[in-house]
Structure 1
Amino acid sequence: MSLPATGSLSRSAGLISAIAKNVRLLNLKAVKRITVSFDPFVENVKQTREVVFQLSVGRVQRTNPGCIFRTNVVCDRSDPQFIVDLIPEVHETAGFNTVKINAKHLTALEILELFNKHITVLAPKEEKVQPISTKSKKKK
């Protein structure tokens, strides 16, 4: 007698593709400023530096060109943290103006998932703009 098969039928694409998927989902339209502070001598700082790199990628920055991105490198053995200030329109609807993420024991994937869970969902929805139709286009 054999045991029935359980689990998924395909393998996971891996950690790199999971990080890439979360980076593709990032939307900073609701963000006014991101401040990242970390001590380079604390353990697990590599994950924070990886997220800093992913947030500074051109595709993510193009979602909100007005977003100010600051990195503070400190030497006081403090835990890495991300402080995200929201734009006033989102602040009024959400009821808070700052999101603080302590990244001491978090992996890069978990930090990006938190960004998508708490910040990307606050982004204002894009309104569909109808193209302007001219007489010459109507004739064609």
Structure 2
Amino acid sequence: MPMGPLVCSETVSRVSSVLNRDAKQFGKKHLFDGSEETCWNSDQGSSQWVTLEFPQTVKVSQIQLQFQGGFASQLCTLEGCRKGDELVKIAEFYPEDIHALQIFRTEEATLDKLKITFENSTDFFGRVVVYRLGVLGEKL
């Protein structure tokens, strides 16, 4: 089966924080809206994260991220699990501090829940700004 986008309207997403709690302007919905003009902007903190709970079991093979330069994560940790299980570390990757879309291939992992933790932000205050988050793989 060909690789395709896994985030859909039934995917439940959560984020660690939103800048000034202004979800209308900087909320999680902007991670997936496909607009070049909107973004998720975290508040300050040492590590920020996004969790995704998929409506069905998926096999993840690629993560796509587009940060705002100066507000990127230098280290991302990927964790996942099946329903009812504890999160297990799947991979680490090291994005560049640039605005371009970056693609990270992962060892295929079968899961229902995915957590991406953004560690070591290039911003002095620990904020992360993500214009686009894509999760690609297969729906099982």
Work out which of the two has the higher radius of gyration on C-alpha atoms and give 1 or 2: 1
User: Which has the bigger relative contact order, CA under 8 A and spacing at least 6?
Assistant: 2
What TM-score results when the alignment is normalised by the length of structure 2? 0.33
Task: Point out the structure with the larger helix share.
Answer: 1
TM-score, scaled relative to structure 1: 0.33
